[in-house]
Amino acid sequence: MNLSEIPIGSCATVTKVSGDGPVSKRLMEMGVIPGVEVCVIKTAPLGDPIEISLRGYHLAVRKNEAEAIEVTR
Amino acid sequence: MSEAPKPKSEESQSRWVVALAGNPNSGKTTLFNSLTGLRQKVANYPGVTVEKKEGAWKVEGKDISLIDLPGLSSLDAASPDEKIARDVLTGSVSGTSLPDCVVAVVDATNLERHLYLVTQVAEFGIPVVIALTMTDLADREGIVLDASALSDSLKMPVIPIRAISGEGLGELGAAVAKACEEKRSPQVLWGSDDTSGIHDTFSVAADVRSQIFARYKFISDVFQRGVRGVKIPERATTAKLDAVLTHRFFGPIILIAILLLVFQSIFSWANLPMDLLEKGFGALADLVRARLPEGIFADLIADGIIAGVGGVMVFLPQILLLFLFISLLEDTGYMARAAFMLDRLMTRFGLHGKAFLPLISSFACAIPGILSTRTIESSRDRLITIMVAPLMSCSARLPVYTLMIATFFSGDKVFGFVSVGALMMLAMYGLGILVAIIASLVLKKTALRSANVPFVMELPPYRLPNIRGVFQQMLNRASQFVQNAGTVILAISIVLWALTYFPRHDETHFDAAQHTVAIKGTAPDAALEAHRLEDSYAGRIGRAVEPVLEPLGFDWKIGVGLIASFAAREVFVSTMSIIYNVGGDSDAESPTLVEAVKAAKKPDGSPAWTPLTAVTLMVFFVLAMQCMSTIAVVYRETASLGWTVFLVVYMTGLAYGAAFATFQIGRYMGY
């Protein structure tokens, strides 16, 4: 399951960031790496991007970017 | 004499260079401002548009040259900012010497994220001193930091500071002096022993992954040892504000209100100081003319140089106001929310969420709009925004639309109450927006196509802005505009003045009286002025390009107006007044000018202007790139002659094509 499938208000643990393009690299550099707990806070008024929190800070990611983040609950 | 250079070179050798690195929102800019005060120099790095901020910092009686690197979340070389930062840290930027040590600014409330940059910087082998900011906020959020434990596990000095009150800055200075003196490379305690290879193994995916994981694993250890009583920051205030500010329904409404406020300020509030500036420079020109003997010299000073300088200064109120708002929006953290809310909408048009503010601003004037694209980190997204921003109908086009509408469509109504003029005006704005959307989509699909540029953007907690920093940024932008684009604008306006002024050989022989007889009721002065313009190089160019303009229904007089409007689009109106003998002071709605335009005839006796010509001219003005100031700013901001030429060619090409189609189809339909 990936992060875009996690309902708003819930948290999950990252298992993998797939792909090796600039998006996944950027996500990992921002600290989205296996073992980290990520919570989904809200979606933007137009439905995309979404706001997530991890390591005590908040991040906006597009839904297609969130799909690269594999998680387990 | 021969001894003079020696102490100087010794001094420059002992003058340390220190780079200041940190994430955006880390408090880096505030620290830079309090360390250097007003002893700052802002320029661009050679060949790119990344800002280079340098300042003098006095530590223990020694002058340190402090280089403020751009705000970075990693040293990935993915963006121009990150690439420049890497180049500075490897000493490969010309004109910037290799730093003796680095001050890494770390936000105590966002320790793990910000320590990531520290690990990357340390890998460059330059001594690192950590300035720990926002410790008071961390206290309030229940995070207990042990600076000495952090320092022990990082093997780097960690100095808690408060930039605004000046707390800890002395200790920071002492630590920096020690680090620069000792020049001991930081120990890289994470993962790979082979750090020499990391700079070029970034393309290999597996290595990148393990490198990133190793850094974060180390950071987690440091975090566990240095932070006690860990409590995940609640961001209670931020959460409450976001509940409203990015609310599904209220969020967009507040956003629209803020954008309207910004637009209103540069569209109308800036008018008062702009008028004052224009009047001031006008008065100065009159004064010079009164004092100097009549002749070319007085005309050059008054109409060429003073008018040119005035033409640069007149942009300042808009630039200052827009950057006041931008600094406030960025400092408080709202800008990231605006991009968050608008991203979905703007991606559909091939634009970044942050492109909205520059484009809205461009309805007032493309100059501040283009300058404000610097808030867009991705260079491709930024370039697309710059390429379409001049298509927004700016306030300088309004007088042209107004003249055309006042002349030909003023009384007409549709359905008895909707004025044709208002519809026409709306259509012109709409045309600009439509073409901008198409152009950005085309650019995104062709020349500026890119692999997925990540959107991934931090949403920082809301914070009160630092007023001093806000004003400093405003002044920096303004002075950069004057230095960079201002000089180009001044040079071109003098050239344009010369084109409308020369040649002047036979003016004493011109028989104003004879001319006045021919055109009854006009003053001899106005007739002389008209004659001079006709005879000038601009007039000759206008005549020379007449065959090109003929398919658009324009005669050579309109051609002269188009050439003169290169100085600023609204100059078209005053040029028409001069050329139709009604004197240069008429504005777009003055009845004499309206009558003169209606009465103007082509040499064959047919009217020079029809309603169709008016519409064609408006379409041309919507699309054509005929503003030298915009061209100068685009050249400075893109640092690319190619893109500047492309902008001029594509817009003017579109303008010609659209005007051609309008006129020919209109004529075919019998208008």
At residue B10 the predicted structure's pLDDT band, cuts being 50, 70 and 90, is very low
**Cβ–Cβ of A44/B216 closer than 8 Å?**
no
CA distance A24 to chain B (A): 8
Among candidate residues B658, B580, B594, B584, the one with its CA nearest the CA of residue B621 = B658
Please tell me the predicted confidence (pLDDT) of residue A7.
95
Contact (Cβ atoms closer than 8 angstroms) between residue B415 and residue B403? no
CA distance B444 to chain A (A): 18
Instruction: Return the axis-axis angle of helices B571-579 and B398-408, rounded to nearest 10°.
Output: 50
**pLDDT given for residue B205 in this prediction:** 61
Mean pLDDT of the region B553-571: 87
Q: Which pLDDT belongs to residue B356?
A: 85
pLDDT for B381 equals 86
Reported as a single tens digit per residue, the pLDDT across B334-364 is 989 999 999 999 888 888 888 888 998 898 8
CA B656 – CA B137 distance, rounded (Å): 58
Residue B594 DSSP label: H
Write the CA distances from B513 to B478, B519, B520, B580, B603, integer angstroms.
49, 10, 11, 17, 22
Average pLDDT over residues B254-271: 86
Confidence at residue B501, expressed as pLDDT on a 0 to 100 scale: 83
> Which two three-digit tokens encode residue A54?
């991890």
Chain B partners of A46 at a C-beta cutoff of 8 Å?
A: 341, 344-345
Under the banding of pLDDT at 50, 70 and 90, the label for residue B5 is very low
To which residue do tokens 């520059």 refer? B358
Which residues lie below 8 Å from residue B342, measured CB to CB, with a gap of 6+?
B255, B353, B356
User: What single letter denotes the amino acid at residue A49?
Assistant: P
Q: Tell me what percent of the residues of chain B surpass a pLDDT of 90.
A: 32
User: pLDDT at residue B173 above 60?
Assistant: yes
B494-519: average pLDDT = 62
What ipTM does this complex have?
Answer: 0.96
Largest CA distance in chain A: 30
User: What's the pLDDT score for residue B49?
Assistant: 66
Among A67-71, B245-249, B530-534, B663-667, whose mean pLDDT is lowest?
B530-534
Shortest CA distance to A58 belongs to which of A20, A33, A31, A24?
A31
Residue type, B40: Q
Q: Which residues pair with B193 in a beta bridge?
A: none
Report the distance separating Cα B146 and Cα B157, nearest Å: 12
Q: Helix (H) and strand (E) counts for chain B?
A: 32, 12
Both tokens of B1, joined, read 């004499």
Question: For A23, which of B251, B452, B460 is closest by C-beta distance?
Answer: B452
What is d(CA B503, CA A29) in angstroms, rounded to the nearest whole number?
A: 64
Instruction: Provide, as residue numbers in chain A, all residues whose Cβ is less than 8 Å from the Cβ of B459.
Output: 51, 58-60
pLDDT at B257: 93
Q: Do B110 and A57 touch (CB under 8 A)?
A: yes
Model confidence at B509: pLDDT above 70: no
Of residues A29, A47, A48, nearest to B116 (C-beta): A29
Name the pairing type of β-strands B40-44 and A50-54. Answer: unpaired
Distance CA B499, CA A46 (A): 52
pLDDT value of residue B451: 60
Higher pLDDT, B424 or B511: B424
Q: Do A65 and B213 touch (CB under 8 A)?
A: no
Q: What are phi and psi of B292, to 5 degrees?
A: -90, 150
Task: Give the percent of chain B with pLDDT over 70.
Answer: 89
B73 Cβ contact partners less than 8 Å away, ≥ 6 residues apart: A29, A30, B23, B24, B113, B116, B117, B458
Taking CB atoms and an 8 Å cutoff, what residues of chain B touch A30? 73-74, 113, 456, 458
Q: What is the pLDDT of residue B177?
A: 92
Give the residue from B13, B41, B331, B306 showing the smallest Cα distance to B180: B13
Chain A contact set for B344 (CB, 8 A): 44, 46-49
Residue B191 above 90 pLDDT? Answer: no
Q: With bands split at pLDDT 50, 70 and 90, how would you rate the model's confidence at B231?
A: low
pLDDT score, position B520: 45
B109 touching A (Cβ < 8 Å): yes
Rg (CA), chain A: 11
Q: Which member of A25, A49, A58 has the closest CB to residue B458?
A: A58
Residues of B in contact with A55 (CB under 8 A): 110, 112-113
Helix, strand, coil % in chain B, rounded to nearest 5: 60, 10, 30
Rounded distance between C-alpha atoms, residue B569 and residue B621, angstroms: 8
Pairing of strands B62-68, B16-22: parallel
The pLDDT confidence band at residue B158, using thresholds 50, 70 and 90, is very high
Residues of A in contact with B455 (CB under 8 A): 49, 60-62, 65
Closest-CA distance of chain A to residue B247, Å: 7
pLDDT at B247: 93
* Mean of all residue pLDDT scores within chain B: 84
User: Which pLDDT tens digit goes with each residue over B431-490?
Assistant: 999 999 999 999 988 877 766 678 888 999 998 888 888 888 888 878 878 877 788 788
Across residues B600-609, what is the average pLDDT?
A: 84
| DSSP three-state, residue A38 | strand
Confidence of residue B499 (pLDDT cuts 50, 70, 90): confident
pLDDT of residue B521: 47
CB spacing of A60 vs B251 below 8 angstroms = no
Residue for token pair 């189609």? B661
What is the predicted pLDDT for the residue at B234?
A: 63
Which 8-state DSSP code applies to residue A11?
E
- Reply yes or no on whether the pLDDT at B515 is more than 50: no
**Which residues touch B95 (CB under 8 Å, ≥6 apart)?**
B46
**CB–CB contact B454 A23 (8 Å):** yes
Chain centroid, CA B627 distance in Å: 15
